[in-house]
Structure 1
Amino acid sequence: MTDAGDDAPLSTKKDGHSSQDAASLGLEARGGDLLARSVTINRPKAELYRFWRDFSNLPKIMDNIVRIDVIDQQTSHWVVKGPGGKEVEWDATITQDLPDEAIAWASKDASDISNSGRIEFRDAGLRGTVVTATILYDAPAGLIGKAIAKLSQREPGIQARRDLRRFKQLMETGEIATNARTRKQHEEEMA
């Protein structure tokens, strides 16, 4: 049981999360699994916020995104690679937009994956900006889907860590280091 004086992050809590927990993190209660990942990026927070707020940039850093269709300033449609090669989709609405500080979202009802989340940008002085992604979600197909997602490296905790690492690389160096060949490289080699 969590002590009322416990100052550990809620994302470390092992016994589930309440809607009150989600609200304290600035999230809507959409899902039962909570994760949070952070990275420090040596760039100003305003620059990082602007990159993230333009959702067309996110497929550059998020390996599992097939596409994001921006419907309007508040709503977008996400298509993501799911476990077992199945694509999952949802519409998301921005629930909070604090320029240069944070963006929060929640999936709409009847989504393949119920989720909500928040990306925060906090000043880290001479070190740049601490970027924290907090996501609350329900794994498709419950525990079996969660296990398949982990085995196929599509589990949101694994993806969030990798996506933030790619974001750091792109923002600090202008490119994402990889040992994988792109489709274009493969086609050029075959020609």
Structure 2
Amino acid sequence: MATDLDDAPAVTRKHIKPDRDLTAAAVTINRPAADLFAYYRDFTNLPSFMENVVRIDALDGGRSHWVVKAPGGKTVEWDARVTNEVEGEEITWQSEDGAEVPNSGRVTFRDAGARGTVVTATIAYQPPAGTIGKLIAKMFQREPAIQARRDLRRFKQLMETGEVATPAMNAKQFEEMGL
């Protein structure tokens, strides 16, 4: 992540580890920052809108264990720790040594007045197998830049309507059709 001397926007910072790709996405959600922060900060909630996240287990001391879908029906796992937290405004994390996908990032929650809150997710990650791994992940729609945009859209849907829209039929719809 950036040093204290680097206050440039996240995607233009100079102090990102050179072996990592950087992606950022933002969305405005019509809810107060405190509500959004509280939901997001409970990492066990994240699989409810993050399509590729199978499970997140809360560990001790601001640590968590992540299990995420990867291309080819596989999963990757890592432990991460919160490195900075400003209540209602920001969560910053770093994967721990030995992560299958080394990563770090920050999610910020900025008041947008009557429009709600601007939520920005910035992620630096090291693609497994380098450029080839990144291309494979893109082909399978598992690349973090693609997922960040989609996940934030689903977060917006969930926080504004209470559900994530999907084109798939749910169990109740199947039942109503007699299937």
Q: TM-score range by the shorter chain?
A: 0.7 to 0.9
| 2:110 equivalent to 1:122 | yes
Q: How many residues get paired?
A: 172
1:153 aligns with 2:149: no
| Distance change >3 Å, CA 89–CA 186, structure 1 → 2 | farther
1:26-175 alignment to 2 at 5 Å? 29=17, 32-175=20-163
Q: Percent identity?
A: 59
After TM superposition, the score normalised by the length of structure 1 is 0.82
Q: Distance in 2 between matches of 1:187 and 1:142?
A: 43
Tell me, yes or no, if the aligned pair for 1:59 and 1:66 is still in contact at 8 Å.
yes
- Cα distance, 1:72 vs structure 2: 1.8
Alpha-carbon contact 2:49-2:151 (below 8 Å) kept: yes
CA contact (8 A) 1:91 1:107 kept: yes
Give the gaps of 5 or more residues in structure 2: 1-6
Which is further off, 167-176 or 65-74?
65-74
TM-score by length of 2: 0.88
Q: What value does the CA root-mean-square deviation take over the aligned residues?
A: 2.3
User: Aligned to 1:36, what secondary structure does the other structure show?
Assistant: strand
Give the Å deviation of 1:187. 8.6
CA–CA distance in structure 1, aligned partners of residues 68 and 174 of structure 2: 24
